[in-house]
Amino acid sequence: MSEIKKFTQEVAGKQLTVEIGKLANQAHGSCTVQYGDTVVLATVVQASEPREGIDYFPLLVDYEERLYAAGKIKGSRFIKREGRPTDEAILTSRVIDRSIRPLFRDTERKDVQVMVTVLSVDHENDPDIVALIAASTALGISSVPWNGPIAAVRIGRVAAEWVINPSYEDRGKSDLDLIITGTEEEIVMIEGQGKEVNDQIVADAIAFGHKHLKQIIPFIKEIISKTGKPKTITAEADAEILTKIKNKVESWLEPKLKNLFPHPSRQEYHQMIEQLKIELDEILKTDNEINKEERSLGIKIFEEILDGQARQLALNKKIRVDGRKLNEIRPLSAAVAILPRTHGTGLFERGETQILSIVTLASPSAEQTLDGMEEEGKKRYMHHYNFPGFSVGEVAPVRSPGRREIGHGALAEKALLPVLPDKESFPYTIRVVSEVLSSNGSSSQASICGSSLALMDAGVPITRAVAGVAMGLLTDLKDKSRYVILTDIQGIEDHSGDMDFKIAGTSEGITALQLDIKLGGVSQKILSEAITQAKEARSIILKTMSQAINEPRPELSSYAPRITSFRISPDKIRDVIGPGGKMINEIIEVTGVAIDIEDDGLVMITATNPEASTKAIEWIKNLTREVVVGEVFQGKVTRLMNFGAFVEILPKQEGLVHISELTWHRVERVEDVVKIGDTLPVKVTEIDQQGRINLSHKQTLPKPEGIEDQSRGENNYQDRRPRSSGYNNSRPNNRFRR
């Protein structure tokens, strides 16, 4: 059994504990990390041999949620083990991947798998921050070559005060939620959302977060120095062959470069590049000293030269690969009401990127049920993102959403959540789907723009329009202090550039942001400048969007359902539900509406037919209505007794018309006046202490002249109702399980 080594450090007033050698010792690197009562296990494994035939670094990151960590068993009756990862798990996997990937050598071809398994959660400390620190530590102590470590913190802002690693409760009060990862010198990854937070405040939050995360780096370095394994060194290509290939590629490519830049069309550019790759491969084949693997190096050198040319064009001439200025946005276009029968649509185009967003409105019962390791409850707003192969001119099978689709959909969802109306004022369930019809970079930010348009077109009363833009960076690889920031990057600038910084927000502030870098890190100064530059771009985009629609439509689409909300007393809910849900199911079946009832008595009727809605509302109000003395009803006779007739005045509410209250004349037999099924006008004369309702029919009739009132208790008229008549006005005591 391995020796267990334990390390602790205080972070934001809580103990961060790392243990090495306790679990999973056959992995190439493993550790457990505990923060509060949240515990994760991180493992790293590297393949023994490089994977052949690939031109990328094969990194696989998995974040595994375990329901036992939260003391839960899966809610499904038939499947009890964990299945497909939740969206939350996929998003956390992406955060870890985006944090560690930039610090690997892109020439590495051995498969590396980083897996973080959540063993315990305390519902106070989010395991994502713990997972990031654990992944960094496991990589650092492993033999896998990696230029780490990194550390991570979450930054919140409660009552204008910064909070480090806020609890779930504090995050609910915070107007900002940022995850920041980085090295001691630079920032590597950002993921966050805000409630229209001022741009400068966001920049300050990033600086504050980096100041605190870099205090964790020495702690991780200490662990690595005491427990780490020697790093494996991957053999490099023969220097002589590499120089020969590089010279051959450069001499062949140089006369062709002038025709490549600037070039505004993505499709034409890629066709030219693919043709040049084919020609280069054929030329390299003619050299018998260069084998197949070395020819792939030639293609990589070719791409590096192109990237270098694009970089120098921007750094030296301040011109981008498509001819734009550094802060220039591609041509913009916005439109709404594109489709005739959907509830709302928005079409947004930016250069060759085209997004169609569609809104669907439904009843509150259409909410998504959350039943994960951390999440429980309902979700009323969903944003889904689809990226088919045809959007980039490629053949691709249609499969279930991948990590990229889920990540982009979640980012757009974060961006739009702060401007949505609350459930009380707009109780609809809202689903937005963004279809990427054409893509040349920044499709996630275009989805935010298109969805904002679609929501306004649907008549959803959002407070303000939201727009997003992706910011890029090109640096001099020999001097990182020399750089340019690019507004609205397209595909080639994302691929060959050093940064993809997505920033979304309204005219008032930032609602979502996401940073990915390829440099290994970026300074706070650059990020601050990018945020300022993005704000200028956002205002231009919002202006274009306002020309298509500048505020939500006052009315919903005629094809959208209408929701009517009203309140009933909470203790009347059981009357609407009925025994075993019998009553509410009858209302739904007869009227065809959807009915949602909250525990506080809020009733929401959803219907596309106004008449059906009116009928259901009247039915429920009658079921829950409090009868008042003096009211007159048209009731239906339901039962006859020797002392009077029972009359249903409201659904499931009966009252007694005593025999003396049937007419102004003396009545010997109830059957002489009424029979079961008769409709009878009656007046409420009394509601006794037990809630029993006494009615009168004769008081709705003209009183004949000379007739004395023969009411109960007068002129010694005998009350013939026995005490054990079974007459009561009680309600069913079955609550509908919602």
376 occurs within a structural domain = yes
Residue 576: predicted pLDDT: 92
- Cβ atoms of 363 and 563 within 8 Å: the answer is yes
Packing angle of the helix pair 292-317, 266-285 (nearest 10 deg): 140
253 occurs within a structural domain = yes
- Residues recorded for the chain: 738
The pLDDT confidence band at residue 272, using thresholds 50, 70 and 90, is confident
- Cβ atoms of 627 and 619 within 8 Å: the answer is no
CATH label of the domain that carries residue 688: 2.40.50.140
Residues 138 and 167 in one domain: yes
DSSP structural state of residue 173:
H
The C-alpha angle 46, 47, 53, rounded to 5 degrees, equals: 125
pTM of the complete model: 0.85
Residue 717: predicted pLDDT: 35
**What is the phi/psi pair of residue 248, to 5°?**
-65, -45
Mean pLDDT of 81-91: 93
The pLDDT confidence band at residue 83, using thresholds 50, 70 and 90, is confident
Distances (CA, A) of 347 to 292, 490, 539: 46, 19, 18
717 occurs within a structural domain = yes
- Six-digit token pair at 266? 């993505």
What is the per-residue pLDDT across 432-481, written as a single tens digit (0 to 9) for each? 999 999 999 889 999 999 999 999 999 999 999 999 999 999 999 888 88
- Six-digit token pair at 19? 């243990």
Provide the 10 A C-beta neighbour count for residue 190.
29
Residues 305 and 389 in one domain: no
Tell me how far apart the alpha carbons of residues 82 and 119 are, in angstroms, rounded to a whole number: 14
Residue 289: predicted pLDDT: 67
Q: Which residue has the higher pLDDT, 348 or 574?
A: 348
CATH label of the domain that carries residue 609: 3.30.1370.10
Q: Which residue has the higher pLDDT, 724 or 52?
A: 52
- Residue after which a domain boundary falls, among 227, 260, 286: 227
Instruction: Give how many domains the chain has, as a whole number.
Output: 5
251 occurs within a structural domain = yes
Residues 51 and 186 in one domain: yes
Residue 712: predicted pLDDT: 52
DSSP structural state of residue 286:
T
Q: Which residue has the higher pLDDT, 322 or 411?
A: 411
Tell me how far apart the alpha carbons of residues 568 and 344 are, in angstroms, rounded to a whole number: 32
Closest CA to 457 of 438, 435, 432, 436: 432
The pLDDT confidence band at residue 549, using thresholds 50, 70 and 90, is very high
Residues 42 and 31 in one domain: yes
Give whichever of 43-47, 257-261, 296-300 has the largest mean pLDDT.
Answer: 43-47
> 10-14, 492-496, 676-680: which has the minimum mean pLDDT?
492-496
Tell me how far apart the alpha carbons of residues 20 and 227 are, in angstroms, rounded to a whole number: 8
Residues 693 and 734 in one domain: yes
Residues 594 and 446 in one domain: no
Respond yes or no on whether the N-terminal peptide bond of residue 427 is cis (omega within 30° of 0): no
Residues 720 and 644 in one domain: yes
Tell me how far apart the alpha carbons of residues 74 and 376 are, in angstroms, rounded to a whole number: 12
327 occurs within a structural domain = no
Question: What DSSP letter does each residue of 370-397 carry, written as one string?
Answer: EESSS-EEEE-EEEEEE--GGGGT----
Mean pLDDT of 240-258: 81
Asked if pLDDT for residue 620 goes beyond 50, the answer is yes
Residue 47: predicted pLDDT: 95
- Six-digit token pair at 690? 């037990």
Residues 293 and 428 in one domain: no
Closest CA to 447 of 459, 432, 460, 462: 432
Residues 364 and 425 in one domain: yes
555 occurs within a structural domain = no
Instruction: List the strands of the sheet with 602-607, edge to edge.
Output: 562-567, 602-607, 594-597
Residues 213 and 277 in one domain: no
What is the per-residue pLDDT across 431-442, written as a single tens digit (0 to 9) for each? 999 999 999 988
Tell me how far apart the alpha carbons of residues 327 and 215 are, in angstroms, rounded to a whole number: 35
Tell me if residue 727 falls in helix, strand or coil: coil
Percent of the chain having pLDDT more than 90?
A: 68
- Residue after which a domain boundary falls, among 496, 514, 548: 548
Mean pLDDT of 506-524: 94
CATH label of the domain that carries residue 65: 3.30.230.70
Residues 122 and 244 in one domain: no
Residues 528 and 639 in one domain: no
Q: Which residues contact 702 (CB under 8 A, 6 or more apart)?
A: none
Over 609-675, what HEC string results? CHHHHHHHHHHHHHHHCCCCCCCEEEEEEEEEECCEEEEEEECCEEEEEEHHHCCCCCCCCHHHCCC
The pLDDT confidence band at residue 710, using thresholds 50, 70 and 90, is low
Residue bearing tokens 């669907």: 360
191 occurs within a structural domain = yes
232 occurs within a structural domain = no
Domain that holds residue 712: 627-738
- Residue after which a domain boundary falls, among 514, 548, 582: 548
